[in-house]
C-alpha cells in the first residue's frame, strides 16, 4: 500500500490535470472547473475520507486520505432514493449582509437529505 501512496504523493507534487476523476457511481467523465487545481469537478461533488473504524478497505491512521467524485445527476438520484444524510457542523458569521467567516457549532444529528434542501 505504501508504494501506491508514494506514487500519489509524487503525482500531487508534480502534476496538475485538466480532467477530474470520473464519477465513482456511474463512471461519467468529469472535468476540472479550474485548470490550475487538481480534482475540482464541474457538475459534481468531491469527497474525502481518512477511513472509518468499520472498513476493511482503507483506514491508514497516518494522515493519508482518499478522494472521490460523484456527479450531480447521481447525487440527485441518491437523494431521491433516500441514500444521503445531511448534517451541519458550522454556521456563517455575517456582518452587514457580508460573510465574514464561519464558526464551529455542535454537530447536529444526521437526517435524510430532502429534495428542498
Cα 31 off chain centre by: 15
If one counts every other C-beta atom within 10 angstroms of the C-beta of residue 58, the result is 13
Q: Do 13 and 50 fall within a single domain? A: yes
Query: Could you tell me what percent of the chain has a pLDDT over 70?
Result: 85
Q: Do 76 and 39 fall within a single domain? A: yes
The predicted-structure confidence for 66-89, as pLDDT tens digits, reads as follows: 999 999 999 999 999 999 999 999
Average pLDDT of the chain?
Answer: 87
Report the C-alpha dihedral over residues 18, 67, 23, 31, rounded to 10 degrees: -10
Would the pLDDT of 9 be above 90?
A: no
pLDDT of 1:
46
* 79 phi, psi to nearest 5 deg: -65, -45
What average pLDDT does the segment 108-112 reach?
A: 94
pLDDT of 36:
79
Q: Do 76 and 19 fall within a single domain? A: yes
Overall domain count for the chain? 2
Q: Which triple of cell numbers denotes residue 80?
A: 431521491
Q: Do 31 and 56 fall within a single domain? A: yes
What average pLDDT does the segment 43-54 reach?
A: 94
Q: Do 93 and 42 fall within a single domain? A: no
Q: Do 88 and 36 fall within a single domain? A: no
Domain region containing 114: 84-117
Amino acid at each position: 500500500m505504501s508504494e501506491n501512496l508514494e506514487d500519489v504523493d509524487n503525482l500531487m507534487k508534480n502534476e496538475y490535470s485538466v480532467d477530474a476523476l470520473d464519477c465513482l457511481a456511474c463512471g461519467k467523465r468529469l472535468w476540472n472547473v479550474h485548470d490550475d487545481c487538481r480534482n475540482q469537478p464541474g457538475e459534481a461533488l468531491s469527497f474525502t475520507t481518512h477511513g472509518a473504524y468499520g472498513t476493511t478497505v482503507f483506514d491508514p491512521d497516518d494522515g493519508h486520505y482518499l478522494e472521490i467524485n460523484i456527479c450531480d445527476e447521481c447525487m440527485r438520484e441518491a437523494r431521491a432514493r433516500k441514500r444521503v444524510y445531511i448534517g451541519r457542523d458550522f454556521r456563517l458569521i455575517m456582518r452587514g449582509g457580508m460573510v465574514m467567516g464561519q464558526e464551529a457549532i455542535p454537530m447536529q444529528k444526521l437526517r435524510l437529505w430532502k429534495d428542498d434542501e
